[in-house]
Amino acid sequence: MITEVSGHTLLVFVGIPALVLAVVALLVFAPSIANGPRYRPGLSWWAPPVWINGPTATKPDPAKLPDQHSLPELPAAPGATASAGAGVARSTGGASASW
Amino acid sequence: MPAGDAFTPDQLYDIEKAVRHAEEVSGLHFSVYVGGADSETRPFALELLNELDDPDHTVLVYVDPAGRRLEIVTGAVAKRQLSDAAAGLAALSMQTSFATGDLTGGLVTGVQQLGEHAHQAPLLHANEPHKQ
């Protein structure tokens, strides 16, 4: 026996569940939509470089800086590595890690 | 947030706040760079350090999210305040957060730790160069 489906029945059994699903989905995905793509280790990195507290525009001209050899002698820390960056022999320390 | 940016403004604010706090506590300059390296990460991080205004008094945190590498570089003077062991501890903490995808949390925690480790109680004349 086929019964006639009224608009009210459709609203109760289809409309309301669909509305509930939509609200739940919105609550789940809202944070990621608001925050944009999230970093996932192992996947490619999409964003341009960010330098916080980087060099200022008023940095003095390197050519006018005193000769590196005139820097005061500093005691070397254990495990320190010698910097070869930018052709400057500057004693540095620090640590490395990977994940 | 514009599509494609690494951090939201709130996240950037949190990181900058941690950097400022670390600088106030330690008296050193802190800088954070997040991006890919043109070469090997350590030499690249050293190049970045040398581009800064006062490399000797600077602690640079370099994060390569694509290569999953972290470098903490301390300048010639900064390394006397922040030992390699202390930097290694902070690196370990950051590494844990980064592995779960939390770049901001890792940076904030790591920079705070670096600042705390580099903190030195003020001692009269102890840190001044010897004068003759």
Domain positions in chain B:
9-118
Side-chain-side CA neighbours of residue B48 (13 Å): 33
Task: Share the mean pLDDT of chain A.
Answer: 72
Q: Are B116 and B23 in contact (CB under 8 A)?
A: no
| Contacts with B26 from chain A: Cβ below 8 Å | none
For residue A41, give the nearest of B48, B3, B106 by alpha carbon: B106
The percent helix, strand, coil of chain A (3-state, each to 5) is 40, 15, 45
- Between these two residues, A1 and A86, which has the higher pLDDT value? A1
Residue A66 contacts B where some CB pair is shorter than 8 Å: no
Lowest mean pLDDT among A11-15, A29-33, B24-28, B66-70: A29-33
Q: How far is A26 from chain B (nearest CA, A)?
A: 19
Q: Read off the pLDDT band of A44 (50, 70, 90).
A: confident
High-pLDDT (> 90) share of chain A, % = 25
> pLDDT category, A66, cuts 50, 70, 90?
very low
The answer, for B57 touching chain A at a CB cutoff of 8 Å, is no
Residue A80 near residue B84, CB atoms below 8 Å: yes
User: Which CATH architecture is the domain B9-118 placed in?
Assistant: Roll (3.10)
Domains in chain A: boundaries: 7-36
Quick check: A19 pLDDT over 90?
A: yes
What does pLDDT average to in each consecutive run of 10 residues of chain B (132 residues)?
A: 70 94 93 88 91 92 92 92 92 93 93 89 64 55
Residues of B in contact with A69 (CB under 8 A): none
Instruction: Check B90 against A95: CB less than 8 A apart.
Output: yes
Check CB contact of A31 with chain B, cutoff 8 Å. no
| pLDDT (0 to 100) of residue A75 | 44
